[in-house]
Amino acid sequence: MSKEKLIVALDVDSQEKALELVGELTAHVGFFKVGMELFYATGIRIVQEIVAAGAQVFLDLKLHDIPNTVGQAARVLVRSGASIINVHASGGGAMMRAAGTAAREEADRLGVPAPLVVAVTVLTSIDRQTYQQEMGFTGEIAERVRSLALLTRASGLDGVVCSPQEIRLVRDACGPDFKIITPGIRPAGAQLGDQRRVMTPGEAVRAGASHLVVGRPVTEAVDKVAAVTAILDEIKQIEAGC
């Protein structure tokens, strides 16, 4: 279903605001993203509340630490009921393997489906100048994204988070079953905000994205359902033409 591809980012700082958005949009959206702002304001309970309301959660905390710490954190996050959790691919293979193994073991212990565990490659706010001049990396962003995606797959995780511009590159490198979650989605005419490497919903699906993350173009719209419907219609048009 088209709505299963859409993740709406709950970039708010209170349980009341988040649950209001969930109540308004849950019939139209596959997932809601709980990021640092909301999670740090409310704790794990907000994830449990959203799941109890019948929605799926992408818990976007970008775990990045030594393997044991990340593994233990992943165990805790499985207990929230989130359907997707993530780590930073730059933490390395051992760290990613620890996260994936811990998530699967904890889910098995609880008798629940294991969440997808995906890895963030290069943040969509980072452009070429930042990547090379400020962060000191040589080469191109796309090369690093591809390398991290291959490491993620080799480490046994389910997919990556990457910008729209790297979707096709990752899809070609990692195959049809590898999950590609794509922030930096902006409907035509929407403000870019702090995103730099962006694409429209239709372009991203055509390139091979499995899930699209959309925040402000939906959550700040006067008619939020209409904004979601427009995105889903665009996705459906692309799927119908595939």
pTM of the model: 0.92
62 carries an active-site annotation? yes
**Helix (H), strand (E) at residue 214:** strand 211-214
Residue 172 assigned ligand-binding role? no
Q: Is 101 exposed, middle or buried (0-12, 13-18, 19+ CB in 10 A)?
A: middle
Calpha distance 159→120 (Å, rounded): 9
- What is the predicted pLDDT for the residue at 103? 98
CATH architecture, range 2-241: Alpha-Beta Barrel (3.20)
184: left (phi over 0), alpha (psi -120 to 50) or beta: left
172 carries an active-site annotation? no
pLDDT per residue as tens digits for the range 29-63: 999 999 999 999 999 999 999 999 999 999 999 99
Which residue in the list 5, 60, 158, 224 is annotated as catalytic? 60
Q: Any idea which residue has 């997808």 for tokens?
A: 116
Residue 63 assigned ligand-binding role? yes
Q: Report whether 37 contacts 59 (CB < 8 A).
A: no
127 carries an active-site annotation? no
Name every residue whose Cβ is closer than 8 Å to that of residue 176 and which is 6 or more positions away in sequence.
none
Average confidence (pLDDT) per 10 residues, the chain, 242 residues: 90 95 95 97 97 97 98 98 98 98 98 98 89 90 96 98 94 97 76 58 92 93 94 87 63
pLDDT per residue as tens digits for the range 191-217: 545 445 568 888 899 999 999 999 999
